[in-house]
A = this chain, B = another copy of it.
Amino acid sequence: MKMTNKIIFGIDIGGTTIKCGYFDDKGNMAGKDEIPTRKENGGQLILADVADYIRRIVDEQGLSLSDVMGVGIGVPGSVRDDGTVNKCVNLGWGVFNVPEALAKHIDIPLENIAVGNDANVAALGEYWKGGGKGYSSIMMITIGTGVGGGLIINGKPVNGYNGAAAEIGHIPFVDDLDFPCTCGKTGCLEQVASATGIARMGGRKNAKEVFDAALAGDKDMEAVVEKVSMYLGKALAIAAGIADPECFIIGGGVSAAGEYLLEKIRKYYREYAFHPSRDNKIVKATLGNDAGMYGAARLIYKAD
């Protein structure tokens, strides 16, 4: 696709691959790619690789760097408002300012580079172009190996003082667990609602087996899904009591269970939620692995 005369980059840096997307000045994705995340030498090749990608696309499109409206970047770790990261362990990164570091590799003004936490950035993507489109505020819950989250209010990510807002996987409310969470505490949602937790509770190899068996009528696995849904519904009700977002968006691998799971979560949510928030929406994420690229681009694209 030939670009208009302006281009935005949305970059989602993960521990294995860097998802790279570019967008036109209307905010439409025009192309995407994946490059491996080179973590050697403290991850110092990562931003050089991002810079190379940007130059390649700009060249291919017959544009110049002055046509770049900006570069938005999602990183797996907490980020201060000025773009300083505090040890993204999955990238081998220490503490440094990401816009300044990227600007050493490519001639893009600092003010046109924006950085955010990956979970918040994915939530922003879903808010902008995905399941959360049209809602004033959303909380995204990503259920995969772990349980993460992002909170967007009036178009702005809520990061929290320590970058730990919307860490719904680690709210401590599950009383009857006798083993520790990866975080060191006990009683976290992640222990019972992550893919790992669901597989453990069902005694199966993975969460998909639990859902498949439940759908095929296995009573024990149906009970496991019911329990997982109860914990998720209660966790969303708790989150509503603190942030009251108009809509919850369920993403991550486990959300593949679709309406079967969502209907049960909604049932328990309505049972546990404080009455003013009882009708808040619960929907599925729609952008999949592209959410981070969309959200990163949205850090730059402020027009709607």
Contacts and interface: CB of A to CB of B under 8 A. Distances in A.
Contacts of A162: 244, 276-277, 280
Contacts of A240: 160, 164
B274 A165 contact: no
A179 interface: no
Interface string A195-234: 0000000000000000000000000000000000000001
Contact of A241 (B168, B246, B272, B277): B168
Chain A contact patch, size range:
35 or more
A242 B274 contact: no
A175 B170 CA distance: 18
Interface of A: 78, 136-137, 151, 153, 158-168, 170-173, 175, 183-185, 187, 234, 237-246, 272, 274-277, 280
A274 B244 contact: no
Contacts of A276: 78, 162-164, 167
8 contacts: A137-B160, A160-B240, A160-B277, A162-B244, A166-B242, A167-B274, A171-B241, A173-B173
